Structure 1
Amino acid sequence: MLGGRDGAGVALAMRVIVGLARIAEAPRLVEITSAHVDSCLYHGQVSLDFAHRLVDLGAMVRVPTTLNVGSMDLLHPGLIRSSTSAERRIATGGRELMSAYVALGCTPTWTCAPYQLPDRPRFGEHVAWAESNAIVFANSVLGARTDRYGDFVDICAAITGRAPYAGLHTTEARRGTVVFDCRPLGDRFLRSELAYPLLGHHVGSLAGSEIPVLVGIPGDVGEDRLKAFGAAAASAGGVAMFHAVGVTPEAPAAVDQLPRYDVDLSTMRSTRQRLSTISSGGLDAISVGTPHASYDECVQLAELLRDGPRIVMPLYLSTGRATRAQAAESGVLGSLEAAGVTVVVDTCTYVTSILAPGVKNVMTNSGKWAHYAPGNINVDVVLGSLEECVASARAGRVVLDDGLFES
């Protein structure tokens, strides 16, 4: 492939993979079974130049390849603001870039949560996934093996079907390095939704790129909560894998020899305060579904909105196309839209110009959204549970229940 046997496009992609392998001092390459590409999110002309070069050289992916969010909601293009020249340039470039990746043979999934799709990788499979929350979920919850890949490397791995055998592809790099004892938090808190974005942000802030081991997580914790934890940990730090003892497939049985942190309720209370740039007062919008909401989360939101007063402010729910289709078939989508929810697909509200220009104060249930949105779209943010988000959407102001932080 490097020598041009399969065409110039494959040769270009293989030069990138071999170059990365040399930098990582990988002894060999490894065959991958799938890829997830983040390069389809528009970051300027260089994004288009690289994709068009691959297309012009005749490259095509050789493993099943899903696509991360883009810069457009292709099903609802009217949601994307285009009043300024910069917004129009991003919308035009974003649409063009998304088309280029489809031309390379990628599947137009447009979701940051590819693990919610049916054909997700099995335990031990080597994959090349980009998008930080997808990486940490694949490694930790599924037990698949991917390093933390970024733009351009991801599509090159998909075209060659290869990745460097280095980093989290190797067994020795997947061992836990630091323990977080969550037992002081108590069962009540650990069974709450709010625990996981807060715990993820706290762990990520301390762990950096280490591999944390969580002790005390309930054995029946669901994937949505592990998703929320991993996304927040990958945003606040460089966490690409975590272990939860008794929960995730590669968690160690013995952790006595590792450095240790104890986590208590006061720490979680201060973490919410640190993630929130406002704590009270009026709100302009609510944004949930980062990473993309699962079908179960769509159902939960519909149930919370079923009884009680109508919401008095914009409430945005970001999800994937496949989940939206499932919600449409079951009637959940109709219930959400009838309650006033704006369902966004193909992108996310913190990376695309969806919120109105006057929106300043926003509430979210996502640690990742709370971490990035103030810098990305210049808003103030408050983090709450989905139930708190609905209560606030009805009241038009911040409604929080701090009782969860009491022993």
Structure 2
Amino acid sequence: MSNFAENVANKILEALSKFYENNKRIKIISAHISGISYENIGDSGLSFLNDIARDGKFSVYTTVNPMGADIYDNVFNLNEKFIVKQKKIAEIYLRMGAVESFTCTPYDYFSLPKRGSHVAWAESSAVVYGNSFLKLFTNKESALSALASSILGETIYSDLHIKENRKITLAFKYKDRINELILGLLIYHIGKKVEKPFTIKLYKELSSLEKKALAAALGTVSNVSLFSTSIKGKEVKEIFEIFKNDLRKEYEELNTCEKGEVIILGCPHLNHAEISNFLRRMDGRHFKKDCIIACCREAYKNIIKLYDQSLLSKKRIFFFQNACPIFSPLLKVMGVKNIITNSVKAAHYYKYRGIGVNLKKLEDIIETESE
């Protein structure tokens, strides 16, 4: 006999099956749940989760998205009532069986499904990254459908779970020099135009930071959740070349101010290798304004084994652990109106939250904002 949580989960998937006009379900081996910030779900969401958690348990390996506050170290003096509510949300997910992950990059530190596995992931950039670089099979789930799938261990057999829908027949090529910002703008530009999976021919090996930039920007602007960086073996019928000047419109759209009061890095979350590389590039310099790095707690633990935290604070480098600055009261508490970032995804969301964005590549942030 099914319990309350299973009944609710089944109703969610039944509604989804009507949308897809497909009743068939497929077993999954992992889920990733989004929308856990108290900033997003509020008291009504917390109440709903309390009801689900009365008898609900996750039946598959489940990770969860970042919170709206760093509940481990309240460096920025966020409201204690907010933190208490955020802790309650986190505790509910852990009680239901989630891994203590709280990151938008579940592929960095946590158990990775095998290539070709069917999963139900909800975070837009993780979905694109999983499909495109890890060769997983997942649709862009909503917070509710991912929650339902994590309880039932299955999702609707539709869209990118079906091999036929993953065929790539459209390609783009870009020959100019690239960095994480150019790549974000490039796929943001493409994402506005396409309605099916595609490939981008690039002329260099991509770093993990660059892969994340691609996945995040596409997930932000498009419903397409799969692309490739290789034309070889694809049934490509059309190839379009894109030039650097073609990206000017996207840059002007997202770069809404010429300076910011604080630097925000880690959208998506940075891992400790990426943070270490960034700190090496600082080469003894220190920032002229606060630099906040969003990362999961595992990354932070690794970093403070390598670097003295007090010295990093003197460089005005701070961490926002297991949390996302975008869906958080952080900037409001700090009184910040304009930020500096290298993330196209962050720029997109901050713009629509009324925050000014000075968008530039990481190299330029180090050069212009530190001494």
Greater relative contact order structure (CA < 8 Å, 6+ sep): 2
Contact 1:182 1:263 in 2 (8 A): yes
Partner of 1:202: 189
Partner of 1:124: 116
Partner of 1:325: 301
Letter in 1 for 2:11: R
Note if 1:26 corresponds to 2:26.
no
Partner of 2:37: 41
Match of 1:354 among 330, 337, 342: 330
Matches for 1:4-403 after TM superposition, within 5 Å: 5-42=1-38, 43-56=41-54, 58-79=55-76, 81-82=78-79, 90-183=82-175, 185=176, 189-190=177-178, 192-207=179-194, 209-218=195-204, 220-245=205-230, 252-255=233-236, 257-258=237-238, 260-278=239-257, 280=258, 282-308=259-285, 310-331=286-307, 336-355=312-331, 356-376=333-353, 378-394=354-370
Partner of 1:399: none
Deviations 1:73-129 (A, max 9, x none): 1112342533xxxxx665443332222212211112110110112411221100010
Deviation at 1:177, TM superposition (A): 4.9
Letter in 2 for 1:196: L
Contact 2:170 2:197 in 1 (8 A): yes
TM-score (norm 2): 0.92
Q: Secondary structure at the match of 2:32?
A: strand
Contact 1:337 1:343 in 2 (8 A): no
Partner of 1:85: none
Q: Secondary structure at the match of 2:172?
A: strand
Q: Secondary structure at the match of 2:206?
A: coil
Deviations 1:18-42 (A, max 9, x none): 3322331235211101011113223
Percent sequence identity over matched residues? 23
Which blocks of at least 5 consecutive residues in structure 1 are unaligned?
83-87, 396-407
Distance in 2 (CA, whole Å) between partners of 1:150 and 1:350 is 18
Deviation at 1:151, TM superposition (A): 1.5
Distance in 2 (CA, whole Å) between partners of 1:110 and 1:366 is 20
Deviation at 1:203, TM superposition (A): 1.7
Distance in 2 (CA, whole Å) between partners of 1:80 and 1:65 is 30
Q: Specify whether residues 99 and 118 from structure 1 end up closer, same or farther in structure 2 by C-alpha distance, changes over 3 A only.
A: closer
Q: Secondary structure at the match of 2:330?
A: coil
Q: Secondary structure at the match of 1:61?
A: coil
Contact 2:265 2:342 in 1 (8 A): yes
Q: Secondary structure at the match of 2:171?
A: strand
Contact 2:139 2:159 in 1 (8 A): yes
Indicate the RMSD between aligned Cα atoms, in angstroms: 2.1
Contact 2:76 2:334 in 1 (8 A): no
TM-score (norm 1): 0.84
Greater alpha carbon shift after TM alignment, 126-135 vs 331-340: 331-340
Deviation at 1:217, TM superposition (A): 4.2
Greater alpha carbon shift after TM alignment, 328-337 vs 152-161: 328-337
